[in-house]
Chains A and B, each alone.
Chain A
Amino acid sequence: MEPRPIDTVRLQAIIDGRRNERWPLIPLLQEIQEAFGYVPSESIEPIAAALGMFPSQVQGVVTFYAGFSTEPKGKYVVRVCRGTACHVKGGRSILRLMKKELALEEGETSSDYRFTLETVACLGACFLAPTMMVNRTYYGKLSPPKVASILGQYRKDREEE
């Protein structure tokens, strides 16, 4: 399955909404990522033209921050924590289970653009270790059955669609 083509009208509308702000580049990139799930390569030139920057400069900012992705991501981005507390509490086995369940390696996206598996250095919720996030939702005190049930939730979504 191919990622959906970019809605250029929507992209331009987002850019035009912020072009006259002061220091608009990063908020603009965030908004685009929010809308499309990543910063599409096609957005670089229109952003540069609107902000009076060189396209290479925009690309430099996009690639500098780990928070911006230039690749399309799945509908659900799973971020498994690899922080010290999670590690002590068995975070490694959670990650192993996740890889097996989703059949994805770290950083990969499923071919149906459903799931993306990532790891992060710390989610800052050590008291809930081991933890992970799916999009913006935190899941803590994970165990293999709990992981399976959470994934089941997101998979069920698909059947409902």
Chain B
Amino acid sequence: MPPSSNEEERKLKEISITIDGKKVACEPGTNLLDAARMGGIRIPSLCHHPDLRPHGACRICLVEDERSGRIMASCVTPAAPGMSILTASPRVLKHRRNIVRLMISEHPESCIVCGKGNRCELRQIAAQLGIGDPELHPIPNYRPLEEANPFIVRDLSKCILCGKCIRADHELVRVGAIDYNLRGFRSRPATLRNMGLEQSSCTFCGTCVSMCPTGALSIRGGGYVGTPERESPTVCGYCGVGCSLQLGAAGERVVESGPSHLPDTVNGATLCVRGHFALDSLNSPNRLTRPEIVSDGARVPVSWDKALDFLAGRMTEIKRSSGPQSIGFMGSSKCSNEENYLFQKIARAVVGTNNVDNGGLLWGRGALRSVMERMGWPRSAPLDSIEKAGAVLLLGADPTQTAPVLGYRLKQASEHVPLIVVDPRKTDMVFFARHWARVAADTDLDFLNALAATILKRGGHDAPYVDRFTEGFEPFRDRLLKLDIPYALETTGVDPASLEKVADLLARGKVAAVVGQGILAQRNVHEIMNSLLNLLLLTGSAGPEGGGLYAIPRESNQTGAWDMGAVPDALPGRQPLREDGGRRAWERAWGGKISPDQGLNMVRMIEEAEKGTLKALFIMGENPVRALPEQDRVRRALQKLEFLAVQDILETETSSLAHVALPGAAFAEKAGSFTNMEGRIQRFEPVVKPPGDARPDWEILDQWAARMGDWKPYASIEKVRREIARLVPSYAALNEAPAQAWVRAVEGKRISFSLPVDSKPLPKEPDLPYTAIFGSVRFHLGCGTRTDQSERVRAFPVEGAIGVSRADAGRLGIRAGEKVRVASTLGHIEREVRVDQDLAAGMVYVPTAVHANDAKNLVGLSSPDGPWFPGWKSCAVKIEKLER
């Protein structure tokens, strides 16, 4: 991000104060503690955190006003011109020591077994002040240890009431699971009714754990593996928010995870349950640790040379016998930019096919394809801009479950920027919303068109913007002005007053639209995204001045995998295959012809394997048997292949079918880079070595490509990065310091309006009267392949109970906890039921990822709208109670 432009203005306003005889300049209103820190003077504190509002709870940061002799807490005292402050005068030290002595007299004497060890801030400060024995009568405040949940251990006898956990919860994460309870000596942070965390609204993000200065809050299971020997930063490998992590390692094992201390990260001091606690999946016993091939019907371990020779040999044979188009490459939105680049280069330049795709298709890439083409690429969408928008429109997304750190950002923004939630379900975001438009399932398109028409009828569109940056406005306007708004609203179930309210809120300025799977996996997503972009154009929000479109990616490098061309329709830099100029440039760079015809995407690969036209498939870091709908069909299709190679970190439902299985490295075990949802390219270095004989995926790709013939090995990741930086203009900064860069945007072209279309009604199935809506749980990512390998997540009862409305539960005679069977035309699942007060009648909510992602068996792999718009968000079902 460019540095702030009002630097000079800030300088003018500065005042000067004296701290320990040293002149320090700061802005008026800065608290003395921060001012001292800017002047290089550290005042000890236990309750201050730069990301939290000053609190003044611990009183350790006392300073003395040299003139008046007053003693005051520096964290809550604003600097005033001409102040003169002493931070370590004899009086200050005397008081500070007494406060620490009092804290220690109340603290249990369990330092020797406390997991916090030397990292305890209370202990550090006591040591700095020379306090051993507090020489006070001990007044222990024993509390039972709480460890009923698999994530956090609470030992509140060690609590010093700094309030960091509570403030982190209220100010950053905004869940509100805990607050101070009672007062005085009895005061402690407590959940509602003082229940265990697992019975509260706690989301186990662990932000409180990383903030806690003492051992009162700690990571469960940390004590048994010892404190980390070393810590190093990396980027979280789970979702596409791209949180910066600090991983602690003991030997070659990752034992602890927390937010990194780097500046300007997406997540700051926060994380979610996955990044904080579910990375124990790295140590899963199901990790692939040696190359294996199937020989005489059995899988046997072999040397790397043998495995790679076997792979290259079979691929060469099949290419010769059945042609390059009989080979498919299914890549991964969890693998790095460098790996995705090599992956698609092997497919195109070595094998000669555009049959390349990555898991991003599962999470809406098909829909984003056309809208991105309209908007122009590359573009970055920094989350910071959300704060500057006039309104945030959250459509079909529950980031509190899918991308929690984005959820925190949106909740924080909602304090200044009105949040509008458009969702059939009352998600946790509704609490923070100025308005909730409760649309019926699959009717977002009608809602958005009615909204645009309302804005146009009021003349509330941003005319100067429309003139300057768009084209095709007149036909669009004429069509929309004819829209019968009440009629359009009928299907949506939204009343006209609600629509007016949304239009009012959008009239306040630029709009940031955030879309999730509720839109991206909906059947008419193509039309919805076009209408949404029209709305952004109308409100002047698709340009560089603020607002914008934020599609929540599910996986860590979903953006990067697309940018690197691991898709069947575009080359690196999202260069469309069909454009001759761009394609020829890549032909020259790689040497050889590239077909202008788009290849098979993931769904089509399975369909072609089923028909027998696809003979060989190379899958890297993807688990289609668990992730795609109709799991049995996908399994059977893969079994029909002549040759299946899988490169993964885990033995999965897919890798168990492979003729050759190659052990790759997880993000913490290799160098690479991920591009997050904002377009922030973040490089990372290995924290530990891969387990056993496993190797970084880019090395494996490099080595087997070399065995295929015309391939000069890169042998170093820098060399791969240099090539990407040279050939992909938007990634020019990939190999430069610092480790974080942004996708470089090009000058925008005019964006055209598209004509609104009416929604096509979804087919009604008379025997299937309910609509099942699929959604995620925060403990799992994607289809749950990796998170299911987390001991902690497995120990937590995420049963994925099916949500049924109160009315339907009454009609069907089902009570909470009873088992039901939910069946579609394709399959059925059986689970427990939860009665959801906020669910509309006729709707059934089915959590995915749990139970081996069996929910995917209810929807069809092949969509009637074609392979780009799968429509896996909802389907018609019937529901029946199971007799015990």
Contacts and interface: CB of A to CB of B under 8 A. Distances in A.
B694 to A, nearest CB: 45
B190 interface: yes
B571 to A, nearest CB: 50
Contact of A59 (B175, B183, B193, B201): B193
Nearest to B184: A64
Contacts of B431: 52
B191 A56 contact: yes
B211 to A, nearest CB: 17
B183 A56 contact: no
Nearest to A55: B192
Contact of A64 (B177, B180, B201): B180
B183 A64 contact: yes
B182 A56 contact: no
A57 B190 contact: no
Nearest to A64: B183
A57 B191 CA distance: 9
A44 B183 contact: no
A63 B194 CA distance: 11
A70 to B, nearest CB: 10
Contacts of B200: 56
Interface string A56-68: 1101100110000
Interface in B627-665: none
A41 interface: yes
A54 to B, nearest CB: 2
A56 B200 CA distance: 10
B183 A55 contact: no
A52 B177 CA distance: 14
Interface string B155-185: 0000000000000001000011111111100
A82 B163 CA distance: 34
A60 B170 contact: no
A44 B179 CA distance: 13
A54 B167 CA distance: 13
Contacts of A41: 193
B179 A60 contact: yes
Interface in A50-109: 52-57, 59-60, 63-64
Contact of B178 (A44, A52, A56, A63): A56
A60 B180 contact: yes
B842 to A, nearest CB: 25
Nearest to A62: B181
B720 to A, nearest CB: 48
A64 B178 CA distance: 14
Contacts of B183: 63-64
A56 B190 CA distance: 8
B181 A60 contact: yes
Contacts of B181: 59-60, 63
Given A41-B193, A44-B192, A57 B182 contact: no
A20 to B, nearest CB: 16
A54 B193 contact: no
Nearest to B175: A54
Contacts of A53: 176
Nearest to B194: A59
A54 B174 CA distance: 9
Most buried by B among A41, A53, A63: A63
Interface in A26-53: 41, 44-45, 52-53
Nearest to A70: B193
Contacts of B179: 54, 56-57, 59-60
A25 to B, nearest CB: 13
B407 to A, nearest CB: 15
A59 B176 contact: no
A12 to B, nearest CB: 15
Contacts of A44: 192
Given A54-B179, A64-B180, A64-B182, A59 B190 contact: yes
Contacts of B178: 56
A78 B818 CA distance: 49
Nearest to A60: B179
A60 B170 CA distance: 13
Nearest to B191: A56
Nearest to B182: A63
B176 A54 contact: yes
A156 B283 CA distance: 73
Contact of A55 (B170, B176, B182): B176
A43 to B, nearest CB: 12
Interface string B182-206: 1100000011110000001100000
Contact of B192 (A52, A59, A64): A59
Contacts of B193: 41, 59
A53 B183 CA distance: 20
A122 to B, nearest CB: 18
A55 B182 CA distance: 15
A54 B182 contact: no
Contacts of A52: 431
Contact of B177 (A45, A56, A60, A63): A56
A141 B437 CA distance: 65
A155 B182 CA distance: 34
A89 to B, nearest CB: 29
A56 B176 CA distance: 6
A63 B184 CA distance: 11
Contacts of A63: 181-183
A63 B190 CA distance: 11
Given A57-B170, A59-B179, A60-B180, 10 more contacts: A44-B192, A54-B176, A54-B177, A54-B179, A56-B178, A56-B179, A56-B190, A59-B181, A63-B182, A63-B183
Interface of A: 41, 44-45, 52-57, 59-60, 63-64
14 contacts: A45-B192, A54-B175, A54-B177, A55-B192, A57-B176, A59-B181, A59-B192, A59-B193, A60-B179, A60-B180, A63-B181, A63-B182, A64-B180, A64-B182
Nearest 6 A-B pairs (CB), nearest first?
A54-B176, A60-B179, A56-B179, A55-B192, A63-B182, A64-B183
